[in-house]
Structure formats: structure tokens, C-alpha cells
Structure 1
């Protein structure tokens, strides 16, 4: 007899995306609904936690309903409920967890806690036919710029992180400096296409440092001074023309990519791994994808990067919950969230 199809409902609300997905046991994504809050946070140039949590509260049930409808199933056909519980904004995480707990209790289904970072890295595995791990993992997004030693898809150790701004945060802040739309990643990439990436020799902090660490705060300040001038300086920069903005955007993007690629190369050499996995919102950047592919090809390293639609926050990447379920990693209903940035 054929085994009946099994369905996982995954919920993601760690930051400012309200998301739900239905994934089968064989990793087919039947639905992946994401309700973006970009319009709510745009005027602030970044995510406002209180606004994010209120929006999650309004959207979580309609998003779950849409995910089930698009998948063509009902609640009674579900096998398990998965939810991202760490890391992230505490108010946002709690909305998703409350919805997941309610469904798990009402339907008497297993509740599975998912680490948001694990999900970003597992998004690479979802497109592969071969096992990816062990590997070096890079998660690069608005809240994270972290390198991991990944022995398994759910066993990883932090080996490097930013000491200040995450790369995605720097993209947002630089976009605001240059008068470009939020979110900064897509707008800087678009503007940079018309600019000269060598126009401004911005600092590549820690690039030659033996430690696996990142810093983008100084780069952000360098862009600020190049664009708007250094307070008190006798000589101020020329006006921000369209071409100057494009050159600044291109030079900034080039600098961030150089650092990320360089640190990935360093981590691969240090640990002797032959696979690199990359996920997170900034991983959708075309230049970064191109340069990482070139670096790994030259180094003879297998390169797997999440497809663009699974780079930004979404619920489908919580498909890793199937592995947790198979190994008996089921959470109790007193499960709590673990907010923060680095996990």
C-alpha cells in the first residue's frame, strides 16, 4: 500500500515577514505565503519591533489560511506544526509561537521548534539531491552575518560573526544615506549597476585579519562622509548627483562582497571543508552570488546557495522540522522563544 501523504505546516514570524508554508515529507513546497511589511517600515528606514509584532497579529491567521488553501489541504490533514522560535524579535516570535501552539494543541499534533538560522542554511539542502553537510555555512541578512561550522543540517557551531552591523543592516543604512528606497539591498544593487565599483576605496575591515569576524559600521561611516561630508572638515564633497550616488552604491556593494567572499574563503581553508552553503536575504545579491561561485570554483569547493525566493525570510525553509520530527525532537506546549541576534 502507498503511504498516505504527510504535510507539515510551518510558521515564520521572527522579524517583519509573516509567513506560512505547507511542505510534504519529500520536501515539495505546496505553498509558501509571505506577507511583507515593507510598506509599514519604509519611512523609518528599518524594522520597528512594535509595528512588526502588531502586523503579525493581524496577518498570521489569514496567512496560515492562504497557505492551506494554496496547498489544497485542510487542518485535519496536517502531520505536524513547525514554528521558528529563535533568534529574532521577541514580540514577533511570540505571535508565531502562540499560533503554532494553539494549532498543535487543538489538532493534537506534534509541535516542532525551528531555529531561524538553521532554516536559512537548510534552504540550500532543499534544492540539492546530495547531502551537503558537513560544510561551512554563511548566513548573511539584515540581522545576521554569521559563519558556522556545520557538521549536520541541525548541528552547527558559530565560528565567526559581525561585531557591529550585519551586512543587510549596512545595506539599509547606506541606502538611507544615499536617499534610496527601503529595503536597501535591492535598491543598492539596482543603483550600483550604473556605477563604478572602484570609484571609492572604502575600508575592507578585518579582511586580512586571521580571526573570522566582520565589521560594517566603519564602512557605513565612510560612505556617510564620502556622501555628505565630515562635520568640521574644511573641504566638503561635491553634490550628490545621480552618478555619484551610483558610484557610492557600487563601491559600497563591492566592498561588502569582497569581505564576505574573503571570509568564506578563509573559513574553508581553516577548517578544510569542501562545501560552502550560503543563505539569508543578502544572499539574493547577484554580485555576491557571482563572486562566491567564482571563488569556490577556483578553490575546488562545492557551492550551494539558497534560491532567491528562499533567501529572504519565509516559512518553507522550516522544512528542516521533518528531520527533527524523525529524531523525536518534539517540543512541549510550554515552549518559549529565544530572542536575540546571534545563535
Structure 2
């Protein structure tokens, strides 16, 4: 059983093929970072147009590397949401057309389900149930994954996502776009203890988070001009890490989940990884991360999610081309449709 996955939810075009026995056969990813850096953020119309240019050449490369002909596939999976609607519709249109032409099912995949299953690309030990900390530019959520298609939202950011806060803070420090990785590199050179920023919402119960106030605290520190940019970057990264680690600890305690998954673009952050590994180790809970290349959006996680759904009896999405810009993960079921 082999599934082709297509990811076009935002500013990365991903295509991959996953085999039920052999695992990942081939994958390609094209990032639009250089395109959007000119504007300081993602421009939806430009993102959609670039997906159109990139998707078919990437598809040909993946099929050639995997040594697979289209009709030999078991299904074509595509990201149906959430994301930028125009970008989503680009991938959905191509996937639906390919599936129709090859005579195979087309499977609509939830982008966040792809992220939370991504560790399975490298580590087959992971099994349901588990707790998920999903940290990306658009989402910061704590999710209890009971079974495939059965997810409970335990807590989330009530304003900026962690990745969004990283990018906005980087902009305050003059680091350009995308700012998260640049901020983390700068933080590695910052002096420890020279500045302490607030840990939002840790003084109250619950699992929700907030990062907009932390961004304001950074702005105040920058305006005072008393701290080196590297010290501010380190203090910010430490504050985000401490907040996410403590909220995740509380979620593990409340849910009694036997394993922890950390996924999304911010899951590649080394300080966060170290903090979560130490916390989970103290709790006696194994923690699973995707490899850094699969923390960001990619076609491999969509192919894997499609494969898992196909194995569970997932249905073809039908001939209609649909996508959802907003799609709460808690609405997902094994028989979901967009």
C-alpha cells in the first residue's frame, strides 16, 4: 500500500510517497521563504501562484525517485485545511485530478493530524493514546490523541501562537523574516540571567497559554536600550520554553497520557526540546519528536496521515474540490469530510 501526499497549506510545497512496509520512499519540499521575505510575511496570493509553479516538477521528481507509476499508488492524500484557502485549493485541485486520472482514491487530510503523526515517519514505537504539544507559527495547542481521528483539545494559546511570537519578537530585534530560527541562533550567544521576562499565565490554573504580553515585555526591554539583543533573545526563548514545559507537565498530569508527542515548526527549537525531554524524563514518559526536517510543513506527514486513514477504512473525498481555511481538530473523525 503506497500513498502520495501533497502539502500546500501555506508557504511550502511538499510532495512525498509513503509505503506501508518500506516507509518513506521519496519526498521533496520547496520553501517560499525567499519570496515572502521581501514583504516581511506570507502574501497569500503569491503563495498560491508559487504552489502552481512548483507542484508538478516536485511530483515528477518524487515519482521518479520512488520508481512508482501513478496508477500503482493506493491513494493520493492532500491537505484540505486548515491554511490559506487559495493555497489549499491548489493542492486539492491537483490531488483530485491526479486521483481521478489514475483511478485511485483522493483522501482529504487535516494538516494538524499530519503534524501529530509525523514522529511515526521515523519511530514506529509510538502508539495511541498520547499527549501532543503542537507548536507552530499558527497553532500552539495541547491535544489528547486517543485514537486516529479522536482528538480532545486540552489547552491552547488565547492570542499569538508561539511561532508567531518568535517571528514578531525577531522583527522587534531587527532579525528579518522568518525570524524564529534567527532569534534562536542569536539566543545561543546571549548572557544567562541578565534579563528575566514574565512567564505568562503560569500563576493561574489551567492549560491555556498567552504570548502577546511576552512580546510587549520584549518591546519594553528593547525600548529601554539596556540589554544586548542577544540577551533579549535568550530571555524570550527561555520564557517561552518555561511556559510550554510547565503547561505540558500539567497536561501530562491531568490526562495521564503514557507518551508525549511534540510537533510543529517550533518543535525543532533545541532549548525547547531539551526542556521537554528533561521534564518528560522526570515524569517517566517517553517523548517523540519528528526529525527537524519534518517539523515544518511537508508532504511526508500528509502521505503518512493518508496511509493511516486508508488502512482504517477512510473514504474518498469525492469529485468536489473542497478546502477549509479554518478547521478545528476536535471536529475530525475517522469519517470526516471537508
TM interval, shorter chain, is over 0.9
Distance 2:312 2:2 in 1: 17
Query: Are 1:45 and 1:173, in contact at CA under 8 Å, matched by a contact in 2?
Result: no
Alignment CA distance shift 1:69-1:307 (3 Å): same
Query: Are 2:126 and 2:288, in contact at CA under 8 Å, matched by a contact in 1?
Result: no
Alignment CA distance shift 1:304-1:329 (3 Å): same
Aligned mate of 1:246, from 226, 230, 240: 230
Match of residue 312 from structure 1: 296
Match of residue 161 from structure 2: 166
Distance 2:258 2:177 in 1: 36
Aligned mate of 2:282, from 298, 301, 316: 298
TM-score by length of structure 1 reads 0.91
Aligned mate of 2:221, from 202, 219, 226: 226
Q: Tell me the CA shift for residue 182 of structure 1.
A: 2.1
Q: Deviations over 1:244-288 (max 9, x none)?
A: 011111111111111111111010011111211110000000111
Distance 1:114 1:169 in 2: 24
Alignment CA distance shift 1:36-1:147 (3 Å): same
Alignment of 1:199-278 (within 5 A): 199-227=194-222, 229=223, 236-238=224-226, 244-278=228-262
Structure 1: 5+ residue runs without aligned partners?
1-5, 230-235
CA RMSD of aligned residues (A): 1.5
Distance 1:106 1:329 in 2: 20
- Aligned residue pairs total 327
Distance 1:275 1:99 in 2: 36
Query: Are 1:12 and 1:18, in contact at CA under 8 Å, matched by a contact in 2?
Result: yes
Structure 2: 5+ residue runs without aligned partners?
330-338
TM-score by length of structure 2 reads 0.93
Aligned mate of 2:176, from 175, 181, 206: 181
Match of residue 271 from structure 2: 287
Match of residue 325 from structure 2: 339
Show structure 1 runs of 4+ deviating over 4 A.
none
Query: Are 1:14 and 1:93, in contact at CA under 8 Å, matched by a contact in 2?
Result: yes
Distance 2:153 2:92 in 1: 25
Distance 1:197 1:219 in 2: 18
Alignment CA distance shift 1:67-1:197 (3 Å): farther
Alignment CA distance shift 1:46-1:341 (3 Å): farther
The secondary structure found in structure 1 opposite 2:160 is coil
